[in-house]
Amino acid sequence: MRRRYALAALALVAWIAGSTLGVVTPADPKQASAAPLFQFGRAHAEYLPTLSGTRPIFILFIGSGAREGEDVEHSLADSIHIVSLNPARHRAAILGIPRDTWVDIPGYGSGKINTAMVYGGPQLLVQTIESLTGVNLDYWALTTFWGFTKMIYNIGGLTVDVPFPMHDRYSYSDFDPGVQMLNGPDALAFARDRHSLPQGDFGRSENGGRLVVAALTQFRKEFSKDPSRMFTWIAAGIRNVQTDVPLDEVLSLAFTASTVNPKYVQNMVAPGLTGMAGDTSVVNLTADAQTIFQDLRNDGLVLKKNIPPSPNASLLGE
């Protein structure tokens, strides 16, 4: 009997002590039901190690014109895009540079920009573009016709909103307008077609950017449903490109890309006029291109008033 009293006293004291310490709280069904029931519903927790800060990241995307068996890094650069990412603003810009742009190639005099890679690989192309734009490029990534095709295959196809009819026997593009899933060869045809487009290579360059936006859209959609798909995209990318981006940085960029709304990605082509250099047809960038470069140097984005008209405007009904 004395033992039971002792236990009861201990229990009482323990309860008081526990309550005071905030450890043992008495059950109060009314209180419990009135309290927010965090445990019901569909609570969500997320942390993504995205890049931060206002300094934009600049990556040069290059499409090598090499055929199988040729030196990929020392062939003509068929497509050239600067992709800038502003982590703080969760926005990005894609600037296509026409491959025939007449520039100064460091150490080689004047020439078409696409020949810089022939002379000195991606590194010289980077130097050439830095000299042209004043933008410090952080990384480069280089792919080929077959690498690009495999990349699209590895991610299971790419959904693209084809904005206008494209039918071209040279690139094998054969698209009616509308949203469609492109396989590797189709996506390559979409990227290469210039004969269907009124401004040729300018329009093609814009379509290259369109593919980047489509990829971002699809990546975000897949990532939101299944974040582990990020590894599929990274593996598909790195397997099929040559790049100087370290894997850790690729991961950071991928996490950051998942926070960029494709609606806020600017896609444009540096404006220029065709002309001649000797007997060579070239593109001379206009003063408007310099304004775009200046904007990019500032924060990686282009002021709305400085975004040039689409080279495919007539097809888009603009």
Partner 1 sequence: MWVSGVAVLGVLAFVLFRGGGGLGGPDNTIPQFDFKVTKAIPMVVTQNDPNQFTGQAQAVATEVTKTMTALYTGAFLDPENWRSGSYGDVWPLFDDGSRTSAQQDGATITLGPNAGDTYEKVKQPKGTIGVKVLLDKQDRPSTAVAIVKFTALGTGKDGTFTRIVSRGQYFLRLADGGWTVYAFQVRRGDHVTTPKPGPSGSSSEVAP
Kindly list the residues in this chain that would bind partner 1 in the complex (CB under 8 A): 7, 9-11, 13-14, 16-18, 21, 23-25, 27-29, 31-33, 35, 38-49, 226-228, 230-232, 234-235, 238-239, 247, 251, 255
Nearer to partner 1, 38 or 279 (CB): 38
CA nearest 268: which of 177, 207, 225, 179? Answer: 207
CB nearer partner 1, residue 71 or residue 161: 71
Cβ of residue 230: shortest distance to partner 1, in angstroms?
Answer: 8
Are the C-beta atoms of 57 and 300 separated by less than 8 Å? yes
B/e letters for 117-150, b = 16+ CB within 10 Å, e = fewer, are: bbebbbebbbbbbeebbebebbbbbbbbbebbbb
Q: Report the C-alpha dihedral over residues 21, 24, 26, 28, rounded to 10 degrees.
A: 100
Decide whether 115 or 256 has the Cβ nearer to partner 1: 256
Compute the least distance from the CB of residue 21 to partner 1, in Å.
7
Count CB-CB contacts under 10 A for residue 240: 18
Please tell me whether residue 31 adopts helix, strand or coil conformation: helix
**Rounded distance between C-alpha atoms, residue 220 and residue 87, angstroms:** 15
Taking the complex as a whole, how short is the minimal distance between the CB of residue 113 and partner 1, in angstroms? 29
- Minimum distance of partner 1 from residue 156's CB (angstroms): 14
Closest CA to 96 of 267, 264, 243, 217: 267
The residue (of 232 and 294) whose beta carbon lies closer to partner 1 is: 232
Based on CB atoms, which residue is closest to partner 1, 103 or 151?
Answer: 151
Q: How far is the CB of 33 from partner 1 (least distance, A)?
A: 7
Query: What stretch of H or E contains 106?
Result: none
Beta bridge partners of 266: 93
CB of 227 to partner 1, least distance (A): 5
Residue among 7 and 303 whose Cβ is closer to partner 1: 7
